[in-house]
Structure 1
């Protein structure tokens, strides 16, 4: 309430200045053909008061209540009433001036004042000008409010997307960690010589998963390094039954991607791949070209009854849709002997 009062008080000097300008306009405009300063002062003052009242009625009552709410019939009706009121008042002022200031001598009256239509047009010109400013202000305020609501909506959507993305990451990490720890466990039981190396590689992977993954993006080279560590761990676990061919072409140093974006595809190939003739074959291709990333993972497989794409790939598909909307292509091709994933991301 106090803020509104302060706002109103700040507007008073501006309104007073505007109406003083209107008064000087009326006094100067209608002084043509007359030197009766007393009449001109009296006439301009009354005409300014009538204009002020009419303008405020339109700006603060008729326009907000009827025009902006699209009640056009009522607005037109009250506009006609206002026109009749103003025209009648102008005629009364002219009659009073004709009797008391010019002693019924019509020739001595200012030329422009003898035409009520001219006076009426001047009054409604000021009213229309004030009303136009009111409508422009309303439209500007509406646009600002609409923009503010759109921004709030976008912020809400972004927060929801971020929460969903965190949820998907949480689904990926435990699954990845479980497989890695399971590998270490097997080597620990067997007391294999490779165990220390596996622990070191797993330590690096844990650091990447638990800390680096909180970053929105990492260098593609970092993702590749940890992808190679993961492949090394899996090779140790599978011994001679895993054959991985990892080809890297034209890896640009400047490209960044979200962490843990590529590893789930490779993890899926190891988990769901089929060992044929004693070997699980996995071919991986990664290259960057024309500001785009191409990633392919192909593994030996068999079509099983009621086979569906794993939940890991479903989650990564959702993640890609959030991270790269309309800027990625993910194609999954399953044949009799192979399972292939093709990914393209445009930056």
Structure 2
């Protein structure tokens, strides 16, 4: 972590130093000092080298160790840097002139006035470096906090998926167990369908997206697997209207609503059990409605959600910014309506922000 921080600090000064140099040249030009532009550029570069080193040690080494609990040490450092920005800076200028790197331009100026001007320049550079450094660190801090939030939400999303999948498999295995216990001839077919679903869940659902047609196929297999448990009295209607069967969708996002219709719906219905499922995706707007019979006669204003619906609601909250999940219980009928603006997927915004 410290190494990463050092790299970011280096990146800051890589462009901060030339930025200050150009700012000083621009200031001199605006003040009418446009003569000897090349010599003036060399002079400013020579002075910037000194100020950059001093400001680096001030901002990165001295200030982080500064403490108001040690006033004597604080006074010492203040006086030291005042000397560095005044007499030390003047000495650096003199050294450049001695080495014929720095060229005196314009009329001669008394030493005291020269030191005063250099002191002002030095302190001004420290303020410039400090302000830019503060803004840079603030931006990096916000980016780091955002990245940590994204990673935490992704971990939670993965956890929710890990809960949903075993829950879904557990119910399916129970169905197969019932068929095997009754020595039904349908047991081999149900095992074959389950193997297809396992292959899909193991190898196709690891990424953030899947083609909607693949999710439709797994829903159809699940419905066929559930139908094996019921006689001809169960009526199932599953239809869809899709603009593009290849468009992307988070894998198994719709499955909890279908599973809920069987597990907590028709399995408790005594007469005329039914499930109506309709999926529509147009203009990147998803509309999914699942209506099923139940064993509850009375209607309730508040529906108590099971783990599948609760996990789905949290997944939607983590994955989309524009969605609506509505569930309602009426007389012997349970209805779940899901609406999603697929263009508001959070993962898409994260990738766009990174680019």
TM-score range, shorter chain: 0.5 to 0.7
Alpha-carbon distance, 1:307 to partner = 5.6
Over the aligned positions, Cα root-mean-square deviation in angstroms equals 4.3
| C-alpha contact 1:240 1:279 (8 A) present in aligned 2 | no
Look at both structures and tell me which one has the larger radius of gyration over its CA atoms: 1
User: Which one of 290, 300, 307 corresponds to residue 297 of structure 1?
Assistant: 290
Which residue is equivalent to 2:235? Answer: 243
| 121 and 328 in structure 1: CA distance in 2 versus 1, 3 angstrom threshold | farther
Alpha-carbon distance in 2 for matches of 1:210, 1:62: 55
| C-alpha contact 2:326 2:337 (8 A) present in aligned 1 | yes
Q: 2:291 aligns to what SS in structure 1?
A: strand
Alpha-carbon distance, 1:229 to partner = 0.4
| 144 and 254 in structure 1: CA distance in 2 versus 1, 3 angstrom threshold | farther
Alpha-carbon distance in 2 for matches of 1:185, 1:292: 39
| 344 and 298 in structure 1: CA distance in 2 versus 1, 3 angstrom threshold | same
User: Which one of 313, 319, 322 corresponds to residue 318 of structure 2?
Assistant: 322
| C-alpha contact 2:299 2:329 (8 A) present in aligned 1 | no
Alpha-carbon distance in 2 for matches of 1:228, 1:63: 64
Superposed structure 1 runs of 4+ greater than 6 Å apart: 58-66
Which residue is equivalent to 1:226? Answer: 218
Residues 215-224 or 139-148, more deviating: 139-148
Deviations 1:83-136 (A, max 9, x none): xx99xxxxxxxxxxxxxxxxxxxxxxxxx77x97xx766554433333222222
User: Which one of 322, 326, 330 corresponds to residue 331 of structure 1?
Assistant: 326
1:131 equivalenced with 2:123 (yes/no): yes
Alpha-carbon distance in 2 for matches of 1:161, 1:238: 40
Alpha-carbon distance in 2 for matches of 1:238, 1:134: 79
Deviations 1:219-270 (A, max 9, x none): 1111110001001111111222421111100242332122121111111111
| 207 and 60 in structure 1: CA distance in 2 versus 1, 3 angstrom threshold | closer
Provide the TM-score with structure 2 as the length reference. Answer: 0.62
Provide the TM-score with structure 1 as the length reference. Answer: 0.64
Deviations 1:258-294 (A, max 9, x none): 2121111111111111555622211111111111211
Alpha-carbon distance, 1:203 to partner = 0.9
Deviations 1:48-87 (A, max 9, x none): xxx99xx99x969999999xx9x9xx9xx99xx99xx99x
Which residue is equivalent to 2:339? Answer: 344
Structure 2 unmatched runs, 5+: 1-5, 11-16, 22-27, 29-46, 69-74, 88-106, 344-355
User: Which one of 276, 291, 301 corresponds to residue 283 of structure 1?
Assistant: 276
| C-alpha contact 2:293 2:333 (8 A) present in aligned 1 | yes
1:155 equivalenced with 2:150 (yes/no): no
Alpha-carbon distance, 1:163 to partner = 1.9
